[in-house]
Amino acid sequence: MEVMPIRSTLRPADEQLIGAAEALRGGKLVGLPTETVYGIAASLAQPAGLQALKETLKIQNHPAWVIHVSSADRISDVVSHVPPLARRLARRLWPGPLSLQLPLEPADVERLVQLTGRQTTAETMVDGCVTFRCTESAITRQIIDLAGELVTIVGAAGNELVDSVENLPPVISRQLSLAVAGPPPRYKNLSTLVRVTGNHLDILREGAIAQRVIRRMEDMVIVFVCSGNTCRSPMAAGLALQIIAEKLKIPADELPSRHIVVRSAGVHAASGMPAATEAVNVLVAMGANIQKHRSAPLTDDLLRRADMIFTMTQAHREEIISRMPTAREKTFTLDPDGDIEDPIGQGEQVYRKTAQRLEKLIRNRVVEMEL
């Protein structure tokens, strides 16, 4: 199996970054900042560097090297299939103090062997898994990217948290080819370690990110938005639940166990209003049930949590982006070719045509989703 080299996607900022990357490729040790600890880095492709790291930090047991990546996309340098749940966590919590542990398939193991060697692969894997980190430190991420090889970083003083170059023990600093300064760590404890296997998540170590935050980030949240949240968006949400369940070949009520949440809301909605009678009747005929729906206003919290937001009109989209500019990249008009007009007060026949249009559009969208 041919393994392509890891290529840099960033441009060097100054000579120090280039020097640090060259030192790593040369099997040297480099001091690098992270948001949890000041660490010592070595290239996993250079046995001399790893041996120096073991000797410097007196690592005697299984090292369980953590692969530090410059972005979430670099996980695919090793892992051929990253579970959607892992992608969601990485997208929401990286860069940051999350260590993400993923199982390797046999082809992934061979790829890692090609990149690092058989012994280093064995020292990196734990129970068939490999752990990845993406630090908040921009300078560290850039050096990792420039190195063009898989890099590991270990706390500079074992169980003692060293927070800066200045506080490095002299016996350790003397072993470094280069020590890069950075801001002090934002956190006073280790990263949170999470293992993702398929759709299942285990928190192996609670650290800088609390367990409740991790659990809140598990779900894939899809939101449909209209004005009053009594006609178009509840019909869209009811149909989406049905269509997604069909795609996954599971009952709709099992979607939460797959960490898939479908919500609807209105940019000008009052709370607690039932869906329009015509909307309920039309969806019953189409095999979906929104009888228990109650309207809800669109909140900032829901906008932040959402992975995808589908609006009924361009005006709805513009209003959302004006309210929360960071939502631009995940907010779309459900129909890219035009607005879906409000059927309110126009009779069941118009509701039926609206629902049929919604169903077709949602099926097209679901095909594109990584569920």
CATH number at residue 301: 3.40.50.2300
For 253, the domain range is 220-366
- Choose, from 163, 339, 342, 363, the residue flagged as catalytic: 342
Residue 2 falls inside a structural domain: no
Sequence-ordered list of residues with C-beta below 8 angstroms from that of 76, at least 6 positions apart, any chain: 82
Residues 20, 150 within the same domain? yes
Residue 9 falls inside a structural domain: no
- Residue 156, both tokens: 């500079």
Catalytic site includes residue 231: no
Q: Would you state the pLDDT for residue 159? A: 59
The CATH number for 29's domain is: 3.90.870.10
Residues 38, 183 within the same domain? yes
Catalytic site includes residue 108: no
Q: Would you state the pLDDT for residue 2? A: 47
What is the tens place of the pLDDT at every residue in 257-281?
888 999 999 999 999 999 999 999 9
Residue 310 falls inside a structural domain: yes
What residue ranges of the chain have pLDDT lower than 50? 1-12
Nearest CA to 99 out of 59, 126, 60, 61 is that of 126
Pairing state of beta strands 192-197 and 200-205? Answer: antiparallel
- Choose, from 129, 226, 231, 335, the residue flagged as catalytic: 226
Residue 299 falls inside a structural domain: yes
Residues 136, 39 within the same domain? yes
Q: Would you state the pLDDT for residue 258? A: 85
Residues 163, 263 within the same domain? no
Residue 258 to residue 245: CA distance in whole angstroms: 10
Domain count, the chain: 2
Domain finish residue from 197, 215, 233: 215
Residue 21 to residue 159: CA distance in whole angstroms: 26
Residue 355 falls inside a structural domain: yes
Residues 47, 82 within the same domain? yes
What is the tens place of the pLDDT at every residue in 336-351?
999 999 999 899 999 9
Order of strands, sheet of 67-68, starting from the edge strand that comes earlier in the sequence: 178-179, 30-33, 38-43, 151-155, 67-68, 129-134, 96-103, 192-197, 200-205
- Choose, from 87, 232, 352, 365, the residue flagged as catalytic: 232
Domain finish residue from 215, 249, 266: 215
Residues 85, 207 within the same domain? yes
Residue 316 falls inside a structural domain: yes
Residue 6 falls inside a structural domain: no
Domain finish residue from 168, 198, 215: 215
Residue 46 falls inside a structural domain: yes
Residues 173, 231 within the same domain? no
Task: Give SS3 for 334.
Answer: coil
Catalytic site includes residue 307: no
> Residues 308, 332: contact at Cβ < 8 Å?
yes
Predicted TM-score (pTM) of the model is 0.79
